Amino acid sequence: MLNARKAEAIVIIFLIAVVIAISIGKGALKKDNNNSKSNEWNVSFKTDSLKITEGSVENQETKVDSDKLSFVSTFNKVGEFYEASINVENKGSIDAYLKSISLEGLSLEQQKYLTYSTSFGSNTFNDSVLGLDIKLPSKSEEVFKIRVEYKNPNYSNEEKVSATVVLEFVSK
């Protein structure tokens, strides 16, 4: 009878230890999940930092979403341009890396007589750029600029351009 009570006490102590171990394990896993959620990059355009250069081109609209900059402008003659700058901010807790810059929405015809250049921080590019690896550290911001210019003198008609600049970021 004494051996049965000892065995019963050992089993109860063992079960209590298992329950405590499972509770501690669940708590540790839950804490790790919360930490991984807070360790992320959060890159977006800072909408209140948008500056449009007043040039000879008529700018009908510039729209900024968190990850896209869209504009509509009308070009009438060679040398006219649309130019804008905006801050890109990483509010996250880990670094983000700029992988590509592209200008979407231009027709094939428009691509023949419009040129564009972009810059991100101290880096300047012509046309779309893929395969970049430019670091945007956590809790920081960089200036992004775009300039679209009417270059080809063979086209003298008024041209309305509607395009969107897209920056693609990834984390490592």
Write out the DSSP string of the chain.
-HHHHHHHHHHHHHHHHHHHHHHHHHHHHHHHHHHHHHS---EEEEEEEEEEE--SSEEEEEEE-SSEEEEEEEE-STT-EEEEEEEEEE-SSS-EEEEEEEEES--HHHHHHEEEEEEETTEEEES-B-S--EEE-TTEEEEEEEEEEE--TT--S-EEEEEEEEEEEE--
Asked if residues 85 and 165 have their Cβ atoms less than 8 Å apart, the reply is no
How do strand 96-104 and strand 159-170 relate by DSSP bridges?
A: antiparallel
pTM reported for the whole predicted model: 0.73
Contact 52, 62 (CB under 8 A): yes
Residue among 112, 114, 115, 140 at smallest CA distance from 125: 115
Mind listing the pLDDT tens digit for each residue in 13-63? 766 765 576 767 666 655 444 444 557 879 999 999 999 886 667 788 899
CA distance 133 to 170: 9
Q: What's the residue count for the chain?
A: 172
Give the model's pLDDT for residue 84: 92
Instruction: Determine which of 117-121, 155-159, 168-172 has the lowest per-residue pLDDT on average.
Output: 155-159
**Neighbouring C-beta atoms of residue 59, cutoff 10 Å:** 16
Separation CA 98–CA 135 (nearest Å) = 6
What is the C-alpha to C-alpha distance for residues 108 and 134, in angstroms, rounded to an integer? 29
* pLDDT computed for residue 160 by the predictor: 85
Q: Which residue has the higher pLDDT, 115 or 16?
A: 115
Confidence of residue 67 (pLDDT cuts 50, 70, 90): confident
